[in-house]
Amino acid sequence: MFTIAIHGGSCWIDPSEITDSQRTVYFNVLKEALNMGYAILANGGTSLDAVEKAVATLEDNPLFNAGRGSAFNHDGFHEMDAALMCGHTLRAGAMAGVRNVRNPIQAARAVMEKTQNVLLTGSGAETFAREQGILFEDDPYFYNHDRYQELLKAQEQMPARNVGKGTVGAVALDRAGHLAAATSTGGFPNKHYGRVGDSPIIGSGTYANDRACAVSCTGDGEYFLRAVAAYDVFCLIDYKGLSLREACATVIHDKIGKAGGKGGMIAVDCHGNAELVFNCDVLFRAWKNERGEGETAIL
C-alpha cells in the first residue's frame, strides 16, 4: 500500500485568468511531479525520497512559486524556504531565507541528515548548503518575467499587503508504512524584512508522524503559523480519533477559515487515504495510490 499527493500552491491566481491551454500545461507539470514521486514508491522506495523528488521537480519549473519560480521580494531578489519531515523517525530539516539555492528541499534534507538541527536560516544556511555540495545558481536562473510583473503590481498597492501565496508540497506513504512531508516556497511578491511563513516551520506548514498522517500546507502563512495547522491535523486524528477528512476540514474551514485565513492542505494518513482540502478558489493538486486511483485538479 502506498499513496502520494502533491500541491502547487493556493490563492495565487484568479481562476478566470486560467485559459484552457494554461490548464493543460499546469496539469502536465503536476502529473510529471506526481509521477516522479509515484515511481519511487512503486519501486519500493521511501516516502522521504518520493516527496523530495516530487517537490524538487516543482522547484525546477518556473510555473510554481518555489525554487526557480520564486517570487521577488521587496529588494528585488529571492528568499526561499523549505522543510522536510520523516514520520518514522520524527526527524526534520528546514531552510529559511536562503538565496540562489537551486533546490531548497534538498538543502532541507541535508539539515535533517547531516546536522543535529532542524532549521537553518540566511547566510549560515547557505554556507552549510555549499559545504554539502548542494547546487547553487546565479540570479538570472531565478528571473521570471511574470514573477517580476507580480512584484511591480504588489509595489503599487497601498498599503502593501501579502499577495501571491504560491507554495509547493508533497506527502506520501510508502510500502513500509512510513510517512513523509515536504514543502517549499518562494514567499510572496514584495516581501519585506526577511519574513518567514509557515512552510519551513515544523508543525505549521509541514508535519509527518507515522502514528497518523503527513501534511503540507499552502496559503495565508500567518494564519497557518498561529493555528499550528499541520500538527493540529495530527492531533485531531491521534488524540480525538477524527478521520483524515474530518481533521483537515476542521483545521481549514473551522479554524483557519473562521479566523479569516485562506489556503489549503494536502494530507495522507497511515492507511493510505489522501485528502486535498482548501477554502479558496484554487488549489493546484494531484494524488495517486497503489491502485492507480487519483485525481489532478486546479479548481
Does 97 carry a binding-site annotation? no
The active-site residue out of 46, 167, 183, 206 is 167
Quote the radius of gyration of the chain (alpha carbons, Å): 17
Q: Across residues 17-41, what is the average pLDDT?
A: 95
Does 218 carry a binding-site annotation? yes
Residue 154: which pLDDT band, with cuts at 50, 70 and 90?
confident
Residue 59 has pLDDT above 80, yes or no: yes
C-alpha cell at 188: 510572496
User: Which residues have a Cβ under 8 Å from the Cβ of 291 and sit 6 or more positions away?
Assistant: none
Residue 165 has pLDDT above 80, yes or no: no
167 close to 65: Cβ distance less than 8 angstroms: yes
Residue 62 has pLDDT above 70, yes or no: yes
Does 272 carry a binding-site annotation? no
Residue 163 has pLDDT above 60, yes or no: no
Residue 11 has pLDDT above 80, yes or no: no
Residue 270 has pLDDT above 60, yes or no: yes
Q: Could you report the per-residue pLDDT of 71-102, keeping only the tens digit for each?
A: 999 999 999 999 999 999 999 999 999 999 99
115 close to 127: Cβ distance less than 8 angstroms: no
Q: Across residues 140-162, what is the average pLDDT?
A: 84
Query: Distance between CA atoms of 147 and 33, rounded to whole angstroms?
Result: 21
Q: Across residues 30-50, what is the average pLDDT?
A: 98
Does 195 carry a binding-site annotation? yes
Does 219 carry a binding-site annotation? yes
Q: Is the pTM of this model over 0.85?
A: yes
> Domains plus CATH for the chain?
3-297 (3.60.20.30)
For the beta sheet containing 179-185, the strands, ordered from the edge strand earlier in sequence to the opposite edge, are 119-121, 92-98, 80-86, 179-185, 168-173, 3-10, 283-289, 294-297
Does 197 carry a binding-site annotation? yes
| Percent of the chain whose pLDDT exceeds 90 | 90
User: Which residues have a Cβ under 8 Å from the Cβ of 193 and sit 6 or more positions away?
Assistant: none
Task: Decide if 167 is catalytic.
Answer: yes
Residue 69: which pLDDT band, with cuts at 50, 70 and 90?
very high
Q: Could you report the per-residue pLDDT of 191-206, keeping only the tens digit for each?
A: 999 999 999 999 999 9
280 close to 9: Cβ distance less than 8 angstroms: no
Query: Distance between CA atoms of 67 and 195, rounded to whole angstroms?
Result: 17
186 close to 55: Cβ distance less than 8 angstroms: no
